[in-house]
Structure 1
């Protein structure tokens, strides 16, 4: 097994010399503003100019949060890439009539889908709060707080708790069924936890702290199996678990995929659970307090993934399974396998147990050798069980710098602390 220092060096080289330069060189849309994110396996723009608020926000976040990991000669370009992206969010994506961020724009800035998905609104908050933290832009923080306030006003279920999944342009609730007007999901609430963490770091305001704590309490109370350590998927408005369907306007519905689950099923995502483990640990650290059982729950997520979602034959993390049963989908997607790097390494930081570091180190070898396309500078999207490419594109309307860049940044920070 490689040492902490050896892995840190490999990761630093990867983010500094490959990930950041690829997106700096290729993603900034110099014609219309914002970012183009759709690139084929050779790193060439594939013509899909759709701009999704989620990915556009993640690019702003990436060019802000990852600044410390860029080469010195790239930092001025990072600043400019983030600035123009933040301006694009606040100008083109912001709905001047109803407030909030549109869901989709065409490349030229015309509206493709004006809906206000809670997931996308949260990422707008996340991006602009981080942009403020890095570059000190007060306008960005004002817009982030304004978006937060609109979510609290229109997307909060004040009767039953938590947040509605999808709302339309005028903030009316979306239809039931495939548009999720009658559903809540762990995915939405986990990423709002992430957004409120960064917003509270930016403002220090009590309301943001309270909503951050509330988000974790909702997840912990209704959305996970605390005894066995895995996340549930979808719920009715009263948090009763219901079989998960493909909800329109989500990655699950729009991904290019190999294996699918045709019948609605109570699935769990192993990579999502491991991601939640470290995101919740970070949120609780920012809050400065945790309940007696919080850390135990977060470690159980890792143990469940190791028991049911880890491929002991080929390496890597499977996509989906059911509770404590076998994996149902055994292909491997980039985001689960990069977020799990941070999750397992964070488990080692939390506990000092070597099995989490060993899993992290093994996963890094798998990701490096199978997902990373070093000739281009980014990760492939999807592999089969044995690690062979199924979808080799480098970017799409859902895939940007966020999962890979964040995994390297978070791991390098933890590895640096462990070195000391």
Structure 2
């Protein structure tokens, strides 16, 4: 059995170092407009999709940083590409007026959706904190903390606790129902827990530790089913259970095309 595990480990490491990472390192950067291209066909060719998302951009930074953090940046390309991605996002995707990052762009990096979506910003904090942990670049932690501070000012529900889901560009809540402004979700809080964990690792600040412990408590006491300990998807403001609905803007809804779903902005 030990030999099998060793063989599997070697196979996975070969795939990561020789196939998976090189695939993305060779294709990720948009040489024409800057930013990351993240949609390819089954043959590894550019799909031509005229969209770039904040979410895919920062998930790419996270993946490159995590690979380096665990010793897989053998030629420095992960660091180089992650650094380009961080500085590009700050220059082109950051909202200079209200703070935070816009949600969706066209291929030329023009803003298509300017909403401030908590789900996306959880990955911003996660990615930038991991980037600083991997490479020591303080700008990652600086912007991770700036986003964290914005969430504490605009997204925390000071009445019942927890974090709202969908906000407008100026950080006002979106409308109710499918607009998402009247709901709290399991998804948001689980990803914020990940984000705050990485942020505390990078900063060591007590406020980040305290907010991490706070969200763990909220998940345990509010979100997990009291009997079955499974996650409950959606809640109203006061943490009573809300119907599980599809938001107007949701990542990955195009996965359900052909199964009765209709493509939404990811």
Q: Same fold (TM over 0.5)?
A: yes
In the alignment, what sits opposite 1:410? none
Is 1:126–1:194's contact at 8 Å kept on the other side of the alignment? yes
Q: Displacement, 1:69? A: 4.6
Alpha-carbon distance in 1 for matches of 2:21, 2:15: 9
- RMSD of equivalent CA atoms: 2.0
Alpha-carbon distance in 2 for matches of 1:56, 1:44: 19
Structure 2 CA distance for partners of 1:82 and 1:7, relative to 1, 3 Å: same
Alpha-carbon distance in 2 for matches of 1:148, 1:254: 30
Q: Determine whether 1:185 maps to 2:161.
A: no
Alpha-carbon distance in 2 for matches of 1:210, 1:258: 45
Give per-residue Cα distances to partners, 1:96-152, cap 9 Å, x unaligned.
000111111222121111110011112111111111111111122111101110011
Alpha-carbon distance in 1 for matches of 2:36, 2:252: 22
Instruction: List aligned pairs for 1:389-408, cutoff 5 A.
Output: none
Alpha-carbon distance in 2 for matches of 1:89, 1:209: 27
In the alignment, what sits opposite 1:64? 65
Give per-residue Cα distances to partners, 1:146-170, cap 9 Å, x unaligned.
1110011001101111000100000
Q: Determine whether 1:241 maps to 2:238.
A: no
In the alignment, what sits opposite 2:9? 8
Is 2:67–2:73's contact at 8 Å kept on the other side of the alignment? no
Alpha-carbon distance in 1 for matches of 2:258, 2:190: 26
Alpha-carbon distance in 1 for matches of 2:192, 2:73: 31
Alpha-carbon distance in 2 for matches of 1:22, 1:252: 22
Q: Displacement, 1:206? A: 0.5
Instruction: List aligned pairs for 1:21-36, cutoff 5 A.
Output: 21-36=22-37
Structure 2 CA distance for partners of 1:71 and 1:97, relative to 1, 3 Å: closer
In the alignment, what sits opposite 1:133? 133
Alpha-carbon distance in 1 for matches of 2:168, 2:34: 25
In the alignment, what sits opposite 2:117? 117
Alpha-carbon distance in 2 for matches of 1:106, 1:252: 17
Structure 2 CA distance for partners of 1:250 and 1:209, relative to 1, 3 Å: same
Alpha-carbon distance in 1 for matches of 2:254, 2:213: 31
Q: Determine whether 1:213 maps to 2:213.
A: yes
2:102 aligned counterpart, secondary structure: coil
Structure 2 CA distance for partners of 1:257 and 1:218, relative to 1, 3 Å: farther
In the alignment, what sits opposite 2:79? 79
In the alignment, what sits opposite 1:328? none
Q: Which has the higher contact order (CA 8 A, sep 6+)?
A: 1
Instruction: List aligned pairs for 1:131-170, cutoff 5 A.
Output: 131-170=131-170
Q: Displacement, 1:260? A: 6.0
Is 2:103–2:116's contact at 8 Å kept on the other side of the alignment? yes
Q: Displacement, 1:31? A: 2.0
Instruction: List aligned pairs for 1:184-203, cutoff 5 A.
Output: 184-203=184-203
Aligned residues, how many?
A: 262
Is 1:165–1:183's contact at 8 Å kept on the other side of the alignment? yes
Instruction: List aligned pairs for 1:1-400, cutoff 5 A.
Output: 3-67=4-68, 68-70=70-72, 72=74, 75-251=75-251, 253-257=253-257, 259=259
Is 1:128–1:141's contact at 8 Å kept on the other side of the alignment? yes
1:222 aligned counterpart, secondary structure: helix
Q: Displacement, 1:70? A: 2.8
Alpha-carbon distance in 2 for matches of 1:128, 1:179: 28
Q: Displacement, 1:242? A: 2.0
Structure 1: gaps (5+ residues)? 262-396, 399-420
2:76 aligned counterpart, secondary structure: helix
Give per-residue Cα distances to partners, 1:285-324, cap 9 Å, x unaligned.
xxxxxxxxxxxxxxxxxxxxxxxxxxxxxxxxxxxxxxxx
Alpha-carbon distance in 2 for matches of 1:254, 1:123: 20
Alpha-carbon distance in 1 for matches of 2:73, 2:79: 13
Structure 2: gaps (5+ residues)? none
Is 2:124–2:144's contact at 8 Å kept on the other side of the alignment? yes
1:225 aligned counterpart, secondary structure: coil
> What's the TM-score, normalizing by structure 1?
0.59
Is 2:165–2:183's contact at 8 Å kept on the other side of the alignment? yes
